[in-house]
Amino acid sequence: MKPFLPFTRPSIDADSIAAVADVLRSGQIASGPKVLAFEAALSAYIGSQRRVRVMTSATEGLEIALDVAGVGEGDEVIVPAMSFAASANVVARVGAKPVFVDIELDTRNLDLSRVEAAITPRTRAIMPVHFSGLPVDMDRLYGIAAQRGLRVVEDAAHAIGSRHRERPIGSFGDLVVFSFHPNKNMTTIEGGAIATADAGEAEAIEIRRFHGIKRNAAGEVDVLLPGAKANLSDVAAQIGIDQLRRLDGFNARRRQLAARYFEELAGDASLVLPARGDTGHSWHMFTVLIDFAARGTTRPAFQKAMAERGIGIGVHYPSIPGLAYYRAQGHRPEDFPVAARVGRETVTLPLFPAMSDADVARVCEALRAQLTERPRLKSAAS
């Protein structure tokens, strides 16, 4: 029997493991020289002399970025109605209100044609998500923001290494937040980063990520605000340094695997495939839509049946307005029909650099077989 194929798996090589062991032996395992080296490497990779500050997660990064952008009590932030819950949670955590806007069916990105109608006098920022690593239309996004005097906090959790018109995501724009969670294109185990062009805002990020502390020229400590405890460790940073040197190779392989999925699944009327994008897409995930209700089954039953065939299937993501907390705030998923459909029908197929072309063929063979076995689908929920 073939081994179980998960929907994702980080690629950590022996050199990285050895380098982590060296950091552990050094005794400097909290924030230190490796964090500084990682930030410098990220800045060089992104380019355009951007200032990069790392932290323990992209969620902390988004919250800190909103705070630095001046978003607070009574403000509104435009958020796509389909994303990971953190995209909206961080807005609520700074005391602001997430204003949901529907997404595009093919790209799964924020529908920019609907953004203008969602802007009110209380809107302070737009927070798009580059879903699966496919950049939003940056020219149009920043055109709207400039015309309306709004900040942009890019949720680029999926998009390290993605490019828009040959420019790396993070090399331009306002505040750009990356994720290095284990299921992302590169990892620090847990971690994230903010890229900005503004030196003052980079300092504000540093202060907020570590207790609000600022030291004077003599090294004396003062606390300027009630900051977070979100500083990255040198152990995590060392993993990031080694992952970053391999990132372009990781992403090149992801693009090859995505191309194989398109070849294998072309013309399958039972699936809605994602938008292909262009060579700037980093393919963090490969998600397809299946109308489970029309097939007389449920998504959990489908996942269970695929697991029995040795294939791990993820769900990215439910519609945020349909989650209990946001329903309690008065949001209705039916007000965002595309997000509701994607949230209801989406499944995530295996995609990670260590996969072979044969693995893709195996996934697609199992997928086709499962979609044609209607009786098995119906009974899988039992």
- The per-residue pLDDT for range 269-320, each reduced to its tens digit, is 999 999 999 899 999 999 999 999 999 999 999 999 999 999 999 999 999 9
CA distances to 115, 125, 126, 264 from 118, in Å: 5, 11, 10, 39
Is the pLDDT reported for residue 218 higher than 80?
yes
Active-site residue, selected from the candidate residues 184, 214, 304, 378: 184
Using one digit for the tens of pLDDT, what is the confidence trace for 348-360?
A: 999 999 999 999 9
Q: Is the pLDDT of residue 105 over 60?
A: yes
Q: Is the pLDDT of residue 10 over 80?
A: yes
pLDDT score of 378 more than 70: no
CATH topology assigned to domain 14-241: Aspartate Aminotransferase; domain 2 (3.40.640)
pLDDT tens column, 224-278? 999 999 999 999 999 999 999 999 999 999 999 999 999 999 999 999 999 999 8
72-81 pLDDT, tens digit per residue, is 999 999 999 9
Which structure tokens are listed for 14? Answer: 């022996």
What integer is the mean pLDDT of 39-66?
97
Residue 22 tokens read as 């060296």
At 374, the pLDDT band (50, 70, 90 cuts) reads: low
In sequence order, what are the beta bridge partners of 311? 5
CA distances from 348 to 147, 303, 306, 311 (A): 37, 10, 12, 11
How confident is the model at residue 376, as a pLDDT? Answer: 45
- 266 burial (CB, 10 Å; 0-12 / 13-18 / 19+) is exposed
Residue range(s) of every CATH 3.40.640.10 domain in the chain = 14-241
CATH dotted code for 248-379 = 3.90.1150.10
Mean per-residue pLDDT over the chain, rounded: 96
Task: Report whether pLDDT(380) > 80.
Answer: no
Active site residue 184: yes
382 pLDDT above the threshold of 80:
no
Q: How confident is the model at residue 1 (pLDDT cuts 50, 70, 90)?
A: confident
Predicted confidence at residue 373, as pLDDT, reads 80
Residue intervals of the chain classified under CATH 3.90.1150.10 are 248-379
